């Protein structure tokens, strides 16, 4: 694969600057911060994490930046060990795009399809907001019919385990504060792994440019098989 720039043009910079500040702040403290979600429902989360997922479909491994805004906006920037962008995933309504800036190529699928190929399971922005902040109450948490989460709470009232269809999650570690997950284990037939949150911000200011995909007009559209072949190089 072609060498990628450390800072990519256009789509990478608004979110990159934000998560760099979050990560530096977390690293400087020397210990996990105390996190307490704001009162009421949380509409958006932004931060930095790492993933170790194993499965035929899972391609997200290593560190990544994320920004999810309920109900249907999302963005993930996956990084290589040197901090260079490997790919972006954009979610918006019923459309999703995965872009490879180093190859100037992208693919479009439904959000469920691309999240399944990325994580090994189809969690959408609304799910990710609730899961990452640990708050399952409020307007954003209403499940669609036949798509409800079955949740379990511990003696402190924190959601520590959940299931939907064949997907299971279990919180292995919480941040100090009010039940915000720090490390989450996932499993479903054919896929297992963990996700660790390294830095997190609740309800960051809205930045429409973070979800702007107009730059894709300059990229070549590919099939998923073509994109997958590039990612494997």
Every domain of the chain and the residues it spans:
10-232
Architecture label for domain 10-232: Clam (2.50)
- Provide long-range contacts, Cβ within 8 A and 24+ apart, for 163-169: 167/121, 167/123, 169/131
- Separation between Cα atoms, residue 3 and residue 84, nearest integer Å: 9
What string of pLDDT tens digits covers the 233 residues of the chain? 443 333 333 464 445 555 555 444 444 445 667 788 877 789 999 999 999 988 877 778 899 999 999 999 999 999 999 989 999 999 999 999 999 999 999 999 999 999 998 888 989 999 999 999 998 875 444 444 446 899 999 999 999 999 999 999 999 999 998 899 999 999 999 899 999 999 999 999 988 899 999 999 999 999 999 999 998 87
pTM: 0.84
Q: Are 58 and 118 in contact (CB under 8 A)?
A: yes
Helix (H, G, I), strand (E, B) or coil at 118: helix
């Amino acid at each position: 694969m072609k060498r990628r720039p450390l800072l990519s043009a256009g789509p990478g910079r608004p979110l990159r600057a934000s998560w760099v500040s979050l990560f530096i702040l977390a690293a400087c403290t020397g210990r996990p911060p105390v996190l307490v979600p704001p009162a009421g429902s949380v509409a958006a989360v932004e931060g930095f994490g790492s993933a170790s997922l194993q499965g035929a479909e899972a391609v997200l491994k290593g560190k990544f930046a994320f920004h999810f805004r309920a109900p249907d906006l999302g963005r993930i920037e996956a990084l290589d060990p040197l901090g260079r962008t490997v790919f972006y995933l954009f979610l918006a309504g019923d459309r999703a795009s995965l872009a490879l800036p180093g190859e100037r190529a992208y693919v479009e699928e439904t959000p469920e399809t691309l999240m399944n190929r990325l994580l090994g399971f189809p969690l959408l922005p609304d799910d990710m907001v609730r899961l990452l902040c640990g708050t399952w109450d409020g307007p954003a948490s209403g499940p669609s019919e036949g798509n409800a989460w079955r949740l379990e709470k511990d003696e402190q009232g924190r959601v520590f385990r959940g299931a939907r269809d064949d997907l299971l999650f279990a919180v292995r570690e919480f941040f100090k504060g009010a039940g915000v997950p720090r490390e989450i284990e996932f499993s479903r037939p054919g896929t297992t792994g963990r996700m660790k949150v390294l830095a997190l911000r609740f309800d960051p200011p809205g930045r429409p440019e973070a979800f702007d995909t107009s730059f894709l007009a300059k990229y070549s559209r590919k099939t998923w098989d073509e994109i997958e072949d590039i990612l494997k190089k």
